Chain A
Amino acid sequence: EPEVTQTPSHQVTQMGQEVILRCVPISNHLYFYWYRQILGQKVEFLVSFYNNEISEKSEIFDDQFSVERPDGSNFTLKIRSTKLEDSAMYFCASMTDRGGPEAFFGQGTRLTVV
């Protein structure tokens, strides 16, 4: 069964450092998403991406964040200068059609900023 793959599963970084979280969505999917879950809290939408551009972003997704689909298979989330409050689980998701079939989520990357 196809799945969304995220790497790494856990990343520890120092405050102020740049991190790149990687995702390989399911190959025939068209819509891609990043979500964030701070420990013990709900899952929050960060950004959606379609047709090689951002289609929507939340207030959380400020100038420190960027997304890219560099090679047609990977989908990355970059945080330019990490803060302590960026520590969270980051989930990548992909969907074949907007709002239709369920979003397939990756297993998540736990980011710890120290």
Chain B
Amino acid sequence: AQKVTQAQTEISVVEKEDVTLDCVYETRDTTYYLFWYKQPPSGELVFLIRRNSFDEQNEISGRYSWNFQKSTSSFNFTITASQVVDSAVYFCALSEVYYQGGKLIFGQGTELSVKP
């Protein structure tokens, strides 16, 4: 069965600290996509990144970086030099390409609080 686990419910850091949000997934498929979404206090879901299962290259976008390791079924997200505006709930999600409908399966979310 497909499952996404974000073991960290809440993380609190002080501005400028680096922080890593963990995501572990389970799937029976060899082809799948992994996503990260940000949900700020306003409530919308903001797309951050999508990776497919064949691309294990780490990705960096500004202060954000992602580490995808198939061997450990993990897709972790690091924010470098965190800022107060990074405070939000972050969701990791999985989509199985060949599964009928292509739904997203979300983790429980990690609430990040960045204090000044």
Contact = CB atoms under 8 A, between A and B. Distances in A.
Given A42-B108, A99-B95, A102-B50, A89 B43 contact: yes
Contacts of B99: 56, 99
A70 interface: no
A49 to B, nearest CB: 8
Interface stretch (A18-26, A78-86, A105-113): A105-113
B100 A56 contact: yes
B54 interface: no
Contacts of B104: 33, 35, 43, 45, 93, 103
Interface residues of B, number: 26
B109 A107 contact: no
B22 to A, nearest CB: 15
Contact of A45 (B100, B105, B107): B105
A44 B106 contact: yes
Nearest to A93: B104
A41 B93 CA distance: 14
Interface string A75-99: 0000000000000010101010111
A101 B66 CA distance: 18
27 contacts: A33-B101, A42-B91, A42-B106, A42-B108, A42-B109, A43-B93, A43-B106, A45-B103, A48-B101, A50-B101, A56-B99, A89-B43, A98-B101, A99-B32, A99-B95, A99-B96, A99-B97, A99-B102, A100-B33, A100-B102, A103-B47, A103-B95, A105-B37, A105-B44, A105-B45, A105-B47, A108-B44
